[in-house]
Amino acid sequence: MDPNQTPQPEGKVLLVDKPLEWTSFDVVKKIRNNSVYKKVGHAGTLDPLATGLLIICTGKKTKEIESYMGLEKEYDGTFVLGKTTPSVDLETPFDGEFPVDHISQENLEKTRSSFLGEQEQIPPHFSAVKVDGQRAYQLARKGEKSDLKVRKVIIREFDLDLSSFPEIWFRIICSKGTYIRSIVRDFGEALQSGAYLRSLRRTRIGDYRLDDALTVQETIERLKNEDP
C-alpha cells in the first residue's frame, strides 16, 4: 500500500429505519457525509414514500452488498381499491376511479390466493429499472412509457385484513426484485377495479428485522462513538 494512502476502514453492516420521503440514496449520502466512511452503499432500494428497514454497508463491507440484496423481504402496509394513480402510490395525482361494489369477500380471497407462489410481474413505470440507460421513472415523469420486461418473483405469504374495505391492510413475504406497487396494481385489475398503495413499510430482510434498526440520526451518533 502507498504509505501516503489512508487505509480503508474495515466497515460495518448497519440496519437503518428509512424515513418517509427520503430516497435510499439520501440515507447513504447522510451517513457518508457524517462518518469516516467514504464507501457507503445500500442493499436494496426503498421508494421515497416507503419506510422501514434499509441495510447499509460501509467500508470493506460494501463488497457484501449483493449477498444481502438476494434475501427474502417482508413488508406490511395498506392499499385502497377503487382509485388509481400513474405511479400506483401517492407520488402522483389520481387518474382513475373504479367501482368496488361488485367485490365480495370471496373475490378478494380468491384473488389473494392467486398471487401466491411464482408470479410473472412487470415493474411499475415509475421505478428505478433501467431502460436504454435511463431510469424508467425519469421517462415516466416526462410522460413516456417504457417497454419493461416481465420478471419472475415468488410470493411466499400474502395476508389481508378487510375490516376497513376498500382500504386493505396487508402483510407480504416475497423474493428479491418484487415490486409491491405492481402487486397492488395487478390486484386491482384482477378484481376489475383499480388500486393504489397508500403506505408501505419493510419489516424484514432475511433474518434482519426492523425492530433492530436505528433512525438515521441514531446511526450517525453511534458511528461517531465507535471505532471504524
Find, among 42, 40, 51, 43, the residue nearest to 69 by Cα: 43
Please enumerate in sequence order all residues whose Cβ is within 8 A of that of 194, keeping only pairs 6 or more positions apart, or say none.
Answer: 81, 82, 83, 84, 96, 97, 98, 188
Instruction: Spot the catalytic one: 47, 76, 89, 186.
Output: 47
Q: Is 47 a catalytic residue?
A: yes
Please enumerate in sequence order all residues whose Cβ is within 8 A of that of 193, keeping only pairs 6 or more positions apart, or say none.
Answer: 81, 82, 98, 99, 100, 102, 103
Per-residue CA distances from 19 to 9, 48, 115 (Å): 27, 8, 29
On whether the CB atoms of residues 44 and 176 are closer than 8 A, the answer is: yes
Q: What's the grid cell of residue 159?
A: 395476508
Please tell me the number of Cα atoms within 13 Å of 33 on its side-chain side.
Answer: 8
**Residue 78 and residue 98: Cα distance in Å, rounded?**
18
Rg over CA atoms, the chain:
19
Q: What's the grid cell of residue 157?
A: 405469504
Q: Is 88 exposed, middle or buried (0-12, 13-18, 19+ CB in 10 A)?
A: buried
Indicate which residues carry an active-site annotation: 47
